[in-house]
Chains A and B, each alone.
Chain A
Amino acid sequence: MPLNVELAEIRDFLAAHAPFDSLPAAVLESIPPRLSIGYHRRGTVVLAAGSTAVELLVVRSGAVELRDGAGELVERGAAGTCIGGAALATGSPQPVTVHAIEDTLVLACPAEVFHQLRAQHADFASFFEHRAGRLREAVARQRREVTGPERSMMSSAVRDLVSRAPVSIRADASVLEAARLMSDERISSVLVTDGEALVGILTDRDLRTRVLAAAVDPAGPVSAVMTPDPATTRPDAPALEALLELVRRNIHHLPVVEDGRPTGMVTATDLLRLQQANPVFLVGDIAKAPDVATIAELATRLQRVVAGLVRQGTSAHDAGRVVTTVGDAIEQQVIALAEAELGAPPVPYAWLTLGSRARFEQALGPDQDHALLLHDDYRPELHGPWFGALAELVTSGLETIGYPRCRGDKMATNPRWRQPLGTWRAHVARWVGTPTPEAILEASVFFDLRHQYGDPDLTAELVAIERRAAKGAPIFLAHLAAAAASHHTPLGFFRGLVVDRSGEHRDTLDVKRGGINTVVEIARLHGLACGSDAMSTLARLEDAVAAGLVSPTLGADLRDAWEFLAHLRLRHQVEQVRAGRPADNWVDPSTLSHFEQRHLRAAFGVIRSAQGAIAQRYPVRELT
């Protein structure tokens, strides 16, 4: 009997939703006749917490809400949402109550079919397993997806350099036609073809030396003045090989040929651009820049560097390090230029970098975060003007280069943050001793601090003061904990919108405030609590796990959540920059794939459980 092709509609529906989308076509075809269909009116319970799940329900139309024992919203789902899967898979009672919030049609898959699918299809099975394991795979896949095969910067293939389709002309066309075509297309060379086959190349240089200088009639054929049978390269050839070919032959154009047909052109400019996208070259060029304008010019290359990193599947952690390194090089050169202008500093000082760059986690489009730490010999009336001028020169220089001023005024231009060590010591004592909300906010900025320029001993002393102060201050840590636990982490997505715990919907996802920052704060809290020297989020988490403050599982889950969110932001920013928009942290949830939505939900879940663990360890309830 032919399969129930009449149930194609249901098969197609399943094929569009996880985890069924991972099943082979023949298996999908066999599922609909084994299902039944039920209906739940708005407001009724679809599956109660504590009950035994006997089937997997899949929302076909309508919407459901999942709430935990305390009545807190856990998830809101529309068509495609699976209900009862985790309980079925583990054989435990249904953990949350599922309500229909709209009239809801459900497909019901009997337990035996469910278990059979799990046994035979690993992707289907893993969908219902512990969310963190899935997140780890997602992080790996996230990188694989953008990259294709792993490639290092210098071993890019020729196909990565080809930016436009080849422009060609027939061999019997006139030289004049060829010149006009080149002019119209704004190209410096044109491929000459006979049918589909490449027979020659005509360059600007040929037009000059073989036509104009030789007084050849432009009405004559291209074939008479072209370079016949030019050197070519293949799309899969290493870019380095193409570069060597150009240098060896002293030419500027290399046609790319595949199966005898030209598919593109590599020029000396393309190869130069490849080299410019290398952060090592970029840092070197910045350190040699004679003025702020040159640095500003060089800084535009950073975006290309990041785009390259994303393309290669670099982790967000490593990409953050590269962006930080370039940012450091820029800041150091701007300070050096300012010093050269102002003369030697009157007393020793340290230029401090704060915030994400201090943690080696800089993204694109950050604003400035810095401060000045001065030697205790500092006398305001004598030395104030020099340091005031330094702060202003550097800040305005950075602004010119493309780093906006800090909206919270956490900059060296603010006299409050341009102080001798003694005053900083008092600041630290105040933050730790009198943890008002404002003090906690300031502490969260100034406890992520790194030496950038000047006397490193000064910075080391301040960092040591901070570490000592924080470790022995349980009340201060409890306030940091309360702040970290209080952030609203989204629940997930519902029809292209972000849902938070209150059930409210938003049409943008703030990846930074809604996720990344919370992990950063959690890591900072635990890092300070265990006296860790580490500054980066992942290193702090590692130290916290080693100190027994965070369980190894939660530590690993948090790392994955941070990496997933940070990578998502990185890609988002690269796309924005490519589209000519300023980079920000606001992701339109409707642009996220089902895959991304699902794993974001998992990442949010990990963050919420880490927040829950903090609320257990610290008396946060009494403080909020």
Chain B
Amino acid sequence: MTPDDGTRLDRLSLLAVDLETTGLSPAHDEVLAVGWVPVDGLRIDLSGGRRRVVRHDDPGDAVTIHGLTHDDLEEGRPLAEVLAELRSALSGRVLLAHHAPFELAFLGAAFRAVGERPVLPPAVCTLDLQRRLLVRHGEVRPGDLRLWRARERHGLPVTTAHDALGDALACAELYLAQTAELGASGPLSLRDVRRREPWIDRLRSWLRGRR
């Protein structure tokens, strides 16, 4: 069962997800690998950490970025199988990602590509949370919202791994740090951290300004 908006964060189950793709366009590019790791309340459960490479015959140039070889991709699993495993891992959980719209759009397209309805759970976006934290302290500069910059600000270890599981884990750790900071004044629930479109924040501050 998908968690409802009132679920307190210390009881909220999430799945941090990261995708490696051939490019930035969900319409034209494809998923090369998926990494995920569950977050149960305030704990990241490494035993549930997975990285699945999607079988691919003509991966193009993106391989060099992700360090995936053609052999890796040829030995990968069919997309439908990977998506089925992800869907089962997501069951009862909220999706957690850094820049969640990207993951949501690619997963939506991928589900459609294998002929399935893209049923996706509510999402928590660490980029969105980072923006909210930074806005509290004033101007947000370009680059501040990137995953590794955001981690740095929270004193999280700067690591070198950039595969899908490594980035999912990096995102999950960032989430723990962000919610600890956001929740310092009182317990939070899912509704407080759900992804909101940036225009909602702008609208709110505009409304505050008028009052």
A interface residues (Cβ-Cβ under 8 A, vs B): 4, 6-10, 13, 32-41, 60-62, 79, 102-103, 105, 108
Nearest CB in chain A: distance from B133 CB, A: 13
Knowing A6-B161, A39-B177, say if A61 contacts B155 (CB, 8 Å).
yes
Task: Place the interface of chain B in its size category.
Answer: 20 to 34
**Shortest distance from the beta carbon of A164 to any chain B beta carbon, whole Å:** 41
Q: Is B103 an interface residue (CB 8 A)?
A: no
How far apart are B168's CB and chain A's nearest CB, in angstroms? 9
Identify whether the interface residues of A are mostly helix, strand, loop, or mixed.
mixed
Decide if A36 touches B43 in the complex (CB within 8 Å): yes
A-B pairs with beta carbons under 8 Å apart, 17 shown:
A4-B49, A4-B51, A6-B51, A6-B163, A6-B164, A7-B165, A9-B159, A9-B161, A34-B46, A35-B46, A36-B45, A37-B46, A40-B180, A41-B184, A103-B177, A105-B157, A105-B177
Q: Which residue of A lies closest to B178 (CB)?
A: A39
With both beta carbons as reference points, the residue of chain B lying nearest to A34 in the complex is identified as: B47
- A9-B161, A33-B49, A38-B44 known; 6 new pairs, CB 8 Å cut-off, are A4-B49, A7-B165, A34-B46, A36-B44, A36-B45, A108-B43
Report if B181 contacts A (CB, 8 A). Answer: yes
Chain B residues in 8 Å Cβ range of A79? 157
> What chain A residues lie within 8 Å of B172 (beta carbons)?
37
Q: Which 5 A/B pairs are nearest by Cβ-Cβ distance?
A: A39-B176, A6-B165, A37-B44, A41-B180, A36-B43
- Provide the bound-state CA to CA distance between A39 and B9, in Å: 13
Closest to B157 in A: A61
Q: Is the CB of A39 within 8 A of B46?
A: no
Is A105 a contact partner of B156 (Cβ separation < 8 A)? yes
- For residue A56, give the distance in angstroms from its CB to the closest CB of chain B: 14
Residues of A within 8 A of B45 (CB): 36
Q: Is the CB of B176 within 8 A of A37?
A: yes
B80 interface hit (Cβ, 8 Å): no
Note all chain A residues with C-beta closer than 8 A to B180: 39-41, 103
B89–chain A nearest beta-carbon distance, Å: 15
State the Cβ distance, B126 to closest chain A Cβ, in Å: 13
Smallest CB separation, A154 vs chain B (Å): 53
Residues of B within 8 A of A36 (CB): 43-47
CA distance A9 to B156 in the complex (A): 13
CB pair B43–A60 under 8 Å, yes or no, is no
CB distance A6 to B43 under 8 Å? no
- Give chain A residues whose Cβ lies under 8 Å from the Cβ of B46: 7, 10, 32-37
Note all chain A residues with C-beta closer than 8 A to B164. Answer: 6
- Contact partners of B159 in chain A: CB under 8 A: 9
CB A438 to nearest CB in B, in angstroms, measures 50
Known: A60-B157, A103-B180. A38 touches B165 (CB 8 A): no
Chain B 186-200 interface 0/1 with A at a Cβ cutoff of 8 Å (1 = within): 000000000000000
